[in-house]
Amino acid sequence: MMKNSVKLKGRLKSYLQSSLYLGLLLSVVDVLIYMLDFRAGLVLSGFIIFYIAIILAMMFYNKPIIMNELVSFATQYGQIQRRLLRDLELPHALLDDNGKIIWTNIAFEKLVHQEKGYRKSITSLFPSITREKLPGGDNADEVQMDIDFEAGNYVAKLKKISLKEMAENSDIIEAKGYEGYLIALYLFDETALKIALKEVDDQSLAVAMIYLDNYDEALESVEEVRRSLLIALIDRKVNKYIASFDGICRKLEKDKYFVIMRKEAAIQLRENRFDLLEDVKTVNIGNEMAVTISIGMGLDGLSYAQNYEFARNAIDIALGRGGDQAVVKVPENVYYYGGKSQQVEKSTRVKARVKAHALREIISVKDEVYVMGHRLGDVDSFGASVGIYRVAQALDKKAHIILNDVTASMQPMVEMFRNNDEYEDDMIINNAQAMEMAGSNAVLVVVDVNKPSITECPELLKRCKSVVVLDHHRQGQEIIENATLSYIEAYASSACEMVSEILQYISDNLRLRPEEADCMYSGIMIDTNNFMTKTGVRTFEAAAFLRRNGADVTRVRKLFRDDVAEYKAKADAVSQAEIYRESFAISVCMGEDVASPTVVGAQAANELLNIKGIKASFILTPYNGIIYISARSIDEVNVQVIMERMGGGGHLNIAGAQIENGSVAEGIAAIKATLDTMIEEGELEI
């Protein structure tokens, strides 16, 4: 709104007042003439008075006429500008400060299919342009965003235009009191550009590697004369599948394939959820064991070499997670597909022997050994730590086990070593002691975990230059990098089983003490649910080795008997279970009077699997401000991928996750939402 009168300014004002300035100049000259000739000065004075009178009269009379002419010119000039904007090929509109359309040009009207005079909010045409995103207020004076409209892609640029600044910047008129602002909207069509970029991106190279998981075992399950036929059928299946996506597949070794294809084809593979995983299993010429494969793919790297490295990392992750799955690695993320079957146990222990010799070489050249498991350690992690402690003792090296919080279920086992004269007082230390004691020539052995963030002392991973990882959990996106030695076998029942095998190759004269054998035997027994899950031939061989070294089944059983409160808490969790979608049991283990509620929760999850029709069970246990989730299954559901979506991980049939700063109700809702999403995506079948 204009509060004051309009006045001339700038060069036009100076030009119109120039005659008056000349009259003033003549007055100065007249003074000089008076000094020379008085009569001449009088004549000139009369002329000056007449001249100034005429000038003032003309200025007073002509000013309204001039102002009207200027307004008329400005109007005509504005009409020309408006016509140019109306005919501009770029879609353009003016909005008020609330986002309401007040003017549009022809290109904008054609784009949105609206007639001239459309005065609704811009959000009615483009829902993504909300009032909160408009320039001005708390936002910047210029805002840019990508919008999709019909089949086109546009860049919308919105710019704040202050009415006051427009008036102040005028070269012709001066006005004060303008308030408010307008918003100019421009739409730049980038549809063709994005189509071209997408075509270029779709033609970029994707690299994949395909490994046969159980090549030797599958061949051994078929008679010798038919083995070549089995190999030929597998080769044909893999090559034909890749060729159908216009890719190239070449066999590198007897059980390894190298694949290159366009990214567009790789996306189709992902949309099909890598159905080659299931297709290969249909190859059957009498072989007792179905052939499974692992696929690692690299995408969106900066170069072909980087995509190849992504593919190598992806295939390593797929194998570390148990095989029979596909892993796609991109620069910022890792995606998993498949992994629904249990990994087949390797009958040979050659790998265990090789890893044992490598571990012995590493420890032999170090001054001291530090061993740690995962945070809030359990029987398996502590038992494996005790096994590594015995390895270090056999090699005459000082060793320490890092253990912070000792749960009630772990207390009897830990006390066997703390109150034992056969062991040094600093055998078991905490985080602070470990960080203070660790020297430059120390080796850190991590057992029963491969995620650095949940280890007992993550800071020690950065302190120690030599790190060894021994774990039986499937790998996730977060791994311990730059490990000197990594031995991860997803088919193993427990970390104690893996360490028991390593012990047999460290030294011929190595003998375990009875309490050490009991501790490791307990780890196997707990992780296999009394040898009922994930047990194989090598599991029983490891147990037999521990029995020969003094493990007593009766002593172990007495260590893990429940007290009345724990038994009641477990029974209450089972009785209160909710059956979701007729296949999933979900319950809560409160355990206020229980010393180790998370252990009781895990036991309750195992109990729920004894109910007919239950494919997976989930127990939520609130403890120390954190909601611990124990997930269990038998063989129909991969609970690991379910827990990974909730930030956790684990095994195909034993997994878990933690929810911080949340309630039990929110945890249950999150589990249900995750199950619903995975069922809709086809990741779970019920």
Is the separation of the CB atoms in 675 and 584 below 8 Å? yes
The secondary structure of residue 339, as a DSSP letter, is -
Final residue of a domain: which of 531, 559, 587? 559
**One domain, residues 375 and 284:** no
Does 121 map to a domain?
Answer: yes
Provide mean pLDDT across the span 257-273.
Answer: 92
> What is each CA distance from 334 to 261, 298, 314, 329, 677, in whole angstroms?
19, 10, 8, 5, 19
The secondary structure of residue 149, as a DSSP letter, is E
pLDDT value, residue 504: 92
Q: Could you give the CA distance from residue 30 to residue 52 in angstroms, rounded to a whole number?
A: 14
Residue 209: in which H helix or E strand, if any? strand 205-212
Give me the percent of the chain exceeding a pLDDT of 90: 38
Measured between its terminal Cα atoms, the distance across the chain in Å is 68
Q: Could you give the CA distance from residue 195 to residue 202 in angstroms, rounded to a whole number?
A: 10
Provide mean pLDDT across the span 386-414.
Answer: 90
**One domain, residues 541 and 570:** no
The token pair at 237 is 């299946």
CB atoms near residue 396 (< 10 Å): 8
Taking the CA atoms of 470, 497, 379 and 551 in sequence, report the sign of the dihedral they define.
negative
Residue 78 has pLDDT above 80, yes or no: no
Q: Could you give the CA distance from residue 681 to residue 246 in angstroms, rounded to a whole number?
A: 26
Q: Could you give the CA distance from residue 69 to residue 71 in angstroms, rounded to a whole number?
A: 5
pLDDT value, residue 395: 92
Q: Could you give the CA distance from residue 414 to residue 379 in angstroms, rounded to a whole number?
A: 10
Q: Is 513 helix (H, G, I), strand (E, B) or coil?
A: coil
Residue 278's nearest CA partner among 241, 239, 324, 323 is 324
The token pair at 480 is 């311990």
**One domain, residues 544 and 420:** yes
pLDDT value, residue 522: 93
Does 633 map to a domain?
Answer: yes
pLDDT value, residue 641: 87
Provide mean pLDDT across the span 204-224.
Answer: 88
Interval 96-108: pLDDT, tens: 888 888 888 888 8
Res. 651 pLDDT band, cuts 50 70 90: confident
Interval 441-450: pLDDT, tens: 999 999 999 8
The residue ranking higher by pLDDT, 156 or 141, is 156
Residue 178 has pLDDT above 80, yes or no: no
pLDDT value, residue 237: 93
Residue 340 has pLDDT above 50, yes or no: yes
**One domain, residues 24 and 39:** yes
Does 344 map to a domain?
Answer: no
Interval 460-474: pLDDT, tens: 998 898 999 999 887
Res. 173 pLDDT band, cuts 50 70 90: very low
**One domain, residues 316 and 430:** no
**One domain, residues 663 and 599:** yes
Residue 479 has pLDDT above 50, yes or no: yes
Q: How many domains does the chain have?
A: 5
Residue 675 has pLDDT above 90, yes or no: yes
Instruction: Please report, for the domain that includes residue 491, its CATH number.
Output: 3.90.1640.10
Rounded mean pLDDT of the chain? 85
Q: Could you give the CA distance from residue 217 to residue 347 in angstroms, rounded to a whole number?
A: 8
Q: Could you give the CA distance from residue 236 to residue 238 in angstroms, rounded to a whole number?
A: 6
pLDDT value, residue 167: 54
Provide mean pLDDT across the span 524-543.
Answer: 87
Instruction: Please report, for the domain that includes residue 166, its CATH number.
Output: 3.30.450.20
**One domain, residues 463 and 354:** yes
**One domain, residues 389 and 457:** yes
Of 146-160, 313-327, 548-562, 572-586, give the range with the top mean pLDDT: 572-586
Interval 35-77: pLDDT, tens: 878 888 788 788 888 888 887 777 777 767 666 666 666 666 5
List all residues 6 or more positions away from 630 whose beta carbon is below 8 Å from its beta carbon.
598, 601, 602, 604, 605, 618, 619, 621, 656
**One domain, residues 475 and 545:** yes
**One domain, residues 508 and 573:** no
The residue ranking higher by pLDDT, 285 or 14, is 285
Does 151 map to a domain?
Answer: yes
The residue ranking higher by pLDDT, 177 or 102, is 102
- With tokens 């001239």, the residue in question is 116
pLDDT value, residue 370: 96
Burial class (CB in 10 A: 0-12, 13-18, 19+), 227: middle
Q: Is 146 helix (H, G, I), strand (E, B) or coil?
A: strand
Min mean pLDDT across 94-98, 238-242, 371-375, 675-679 is at 94-98
For residues 380-391, one letter each, b for 16 or more C-beta atoms within 10 angstroms of the residue's C-beta and e for the rest, the string is bbbbbbbbbbbb
pLDDT value, residue 515: 92
**One domain, residues 620 and 661:** yes
SS (H, E, C) 466-502: EEEEEECCCCCCCCCCCCCEEEECCCCCCHHHHHHHH
Interval 572-597: pLDDT, tens: 999 999 999 999 999 999 877 787 78
pLDDT value, residue 590: 87
Q: Could you give the CA distance from residue 653 to residue 151 in angstroms, rounded to a whole number?
A: 46
Of 348-352, 364-368, 409-413, give the range with the top mean pLDDT: 364-368
Provide mean pLDDT across the span 173-193.
Answer: 74
Provide mean pLDDT across the span 356-368.
Answer: 92
Min mean pLDDT across 230-234, 282-286, 355-359 is at 282-286
Residue 318's nearest CA partner among 493, 208, 452, 474 is 474
Is the separation of the CB atoms in 454 and 480 below 8 Å? no
The residue ranking higher by pLDDT, 267 or 349, is 267
Min mean pLDDT across 272-281, 445-454, 589-598, 651-660 is at 589-598
**One domain, residues 184 and 108:** yes
Provide mean pLDDT across the span 478-507.
Answer: 88
Residue 14 has pLDDT above 80, yes or no: no
Crossing angle of helices 564-575 and 597-608, rounded to 10°? 50
Say which amino acid occupies 254.
Answer: K
SS (H, E, C) 607-620: HHCCCCCCCEEEEE
Q: Could you give the CA distance from residue 283 to residue 277 in angstroms, rounded to a whole number?
A: 11
Q: Could you give the CA distance from residue 545 to residue 521 in angstroms, rounded to a whole number?
A: 10
> What is each CA distance from 642 to 319, 531, 639, 649, 675, in whole angstroms?
19, 24, 5, 8, 7
Of 173-182, 344-353, 626-635, give the range with the top mean pLDDT: 626-635
Provide mean pLDDT across the span 364-381.
Answer: 92
Q: Could you give the CA distance from residue 442 to residue 77 in angstroms, rounded to a whole number?
A: 83
Of 24-38, 196-210, 470-484, 664-678, give the range with the top mean pLDDT: 664-678
Cα Rg for the chain, rounded, in angstroms? 40
pLDDT value, residue 70: 64
Residue 342 has pLDDT above 80, yes or no: no
Final residue of a domain: which of 524, 559, 594? 559
pLDDT value, residue 220: 83
The reply to whether the predicted model has a pTM over 0.85 is no
Res. 219 pLDDT band, cuts 50 70 90: confident
Interval 593-641: pLDDT, tens: 787 788 889 889 999 999 999 999 999 999 888 999 999 998 788 898 8
- With tokens 């002691």, the residue in question is 433
Q: Is 509 helix (H, G, I), strand (E, B) or coil?
A: coil
pLDDT value, residue 172: 46
pLDDT value, residue 131: 83
Residue 64's nearest CA partner among 7, 3, 17, 4 is 7
Structure-derived torsion over alpha carbons of residues 669, 673, 679, 682, reported in degrees to the nearest 10: -150
The secondary structure of residue 176, as a DSSP letter, is -
Does 685 map to a domain?
Answer: no
The token pair at 176 is 């004060």
Does 113 map to a domain?
Answer: yes
Of 80-84, 252-256, 404-408, give the range with the top mean pLDDT: 252-256
Interval 409-423: pLDDT, tens: 788 889 989 888 889
Strand-pairing partners, residue 182, are 161
Instruction: Please report, for the domain that includes residue 631, its CATH number.
Output: 3.10.310.30
Burial class (CB in 10 A: 0-12, 13-18, 19+), 478: middle
Does 111 map to a domain?
Answer: yes
**Residue 41 belongs to domain spanning:** 7-86
Instruction: Please report, for the domain that includes residue 323, its CATH number.
Output: 3.30.70.270
Does 421 map to a domain?
Answer: yes
DSSP E strands in 492-624: the ranges are 578-580, 584-588, 616-623
Residue 186: in which H helix or E strand, if any? strand 181-189
Taking the CA atoms of 453, 454, 455 and 460 in sequence, report the sign of the dihedral they define.
positive
SS (H, E, C) 236-295: HHHHHHHHCCCCEEEEEECCEEEEEEEHHHHHHHHHCCCCHHHHHCCCCCCCCCCCCEEE
Give me the percent of the chain exceeding a pLDDT of 70: 91
Final residue of a domain: which of 32, 51, 86? 86
pLDDT value, residue 180: 67
